[in-house]
Amino acid sequence: MKRITIVVFALTIAIGFNVSKACAQWQTDSKYGFKIKLPQGWTQKSHMDGSDKVYDYQSADNNAAVQLRVFDADSRVTTAMLAQVYEQKMLPQGTQKQSLVNHTTTNGIPGMMGLYVLKYNNVDVNMAAFYTVQNSKGYVLTAIIPASMISQKGPEVKSVTQSFVIDGFPKQTVAKQKTTQQPSGLNSLLNKASQTANTTAVTDIGNEPSMVGHYNFVSRSDGKDLLNYWYIILNKDGTYIDRHQLKEGNYTTGDEGTWKASGKQVTLYNKYHPAVNTTYTIENGQMKQVSSSGTVFYFKKQ
């Protein structure tokens, strides 16, 4: 799918489009194993983008939209890889990334949540995307609302995204499916990325007693204030808990896993997404982490 497709999708909020039917209540797809509940008056259309199935849902007043993209995922595809490829290949140029964090839905589906800002004709449009790989399928659930209408349309859109359910969840073991043709769309991009992905299993987890404890977020070097709270707990048994709440929408997100110390550094290994690990530096009760963009996050031991 070309990047411009999402821009066009965003524009439907303002100008509308012809749809296949008016929808109400639960919408299901037995092949891709999900269901989602739409308010009365919302409309739906679907199409294939290569080997990806794409559903477009739109509010009755054309001021909010939700899109679900789903595809058969290679066993090597992770949620972190899905989010990375989607951001790099699918989002339109000029998109401002606000955050990308681990997130578990109200229905218990683990994944990652990204928040973005698009601008078209000098109008800010807010976009949220939930990424997850479950039962040998990849899902990208996005919601788009003009920034000026967040308070009016936010609750309605939230009711749609929170209703998203994957059949058979919690995750069941599913045999790897064979493909008979070369996939395209987002599936093709992920297959290419998975061939070069390098993930390492964590087999030697240790800890340093002086690092054990509860660390509270204090500040970040760019001065942004996006969180109600953020804390990381390093347990004596070599496990950790990370929890934080976004001010936008009051989403509580986080992850857990194991940690390993090496000198003044401690690395957190996400148990849900093995390809994701984060390294912090701890010294004199202070903890900090430098992101790939150079932003420094500061924590203080409780």
What are the pLDDT digits (tens) for 123-136?
A: 888 999 999 999 89
Which residues have C-beta within 8 Å of that of residue 61, sequence separation ≥ 6? Answer: none
Distance CA 225, CA 183 (A): 42
Domain ranges of the chain: 4-196, 209-301
Distance CA 156, CA 21 (A): 19
Strand order from edge to edge, sheet including 110-120: 21-22, 43-49, 52-58, 65-72, 137-146, 123-134, 110-120, 96-104
Owner of token pair 């209540």: 25
Residue 272 pLDDT > 80: no
Residue 233 pLDDT > 60: yes
Pick the more confident residue, 54 or 244.
54
Q: What average pLDDT does range 229-242 have in this prediction?
A: 91
Query: The whole model's pTM is what?
Result: 0.56
The backbone region for 88, taken as left when phi is positive above 0, alpha when psi lies in -120 to 50, beta otherwise, is alpha
Helix 79-89 × helix 185-196 angle, to 10°:
120
Which residues have C-beta within 8 Å of that of residue 133, sequence separation ≥ 6? Answer: 73, 77, 78, 79, 82, 111, 139
Distance CA 141, CA 130 (A): 5
The whole-number pLDDT of residue 39 equals 92
Q: Specify which residues 213 forms β-bridges with.
A: 234
The whole-number pLDDT of residue 255 equals 80
**CATH architecture of the domain with residue range 4-196:** 3-Layer(aba) Sandwich (3.40)
Provide the pLDDT confidence category of residue 164 given band limits of 50, 70 and 90. very high
Least confident stretch, 14-23, 153-162, 187-196, 256-265? 14-23
Provide the pLDDT confidence category of residue 34 given band limits of 50, 70 and 90. very high
Q: Specify which residues 255 forms β-bridges with.
A: 242
Which CATH class for the 209-301 domain? mainly beta
The whole-number pLDDT of residue 295 equals 86
CA nearest to 69, candidates 158, 154, 131: 131
Which residues have C-beta within 8 Å of that of residue 52, sequence separation ≥ 6? Answer: 1, 69, 70, 71, 185, 186, 187
The whole-number pLDDT of residue 105 equals 86
The whole-number pLDDT of residue 123 equals 80
Distance CA 184, CA 174 (A): 22
The whole-number pLDDT of residue 204 equals 36
Question: What token pair was written down for 289?
Answer: 């982490």
Provide the pLDDT confidence category of residue 76 given band limits of 50, 70 and 90. confident
Distance CA 19, CA 57 (A): 9
Q: Specify which residues 53 forms β-bridges with.
A: 48, 70
Cα distances (Å, whole numbers) of residue 91 to 1, 36, 75, 107: 10, 23, 24, 27
3-class state of residue 230 by DSSP: strand
Residue 201 pLDDT > 80: no
Provide the pLDDT confidence category of residue 183 given band limits of 50, 70 and 90. low
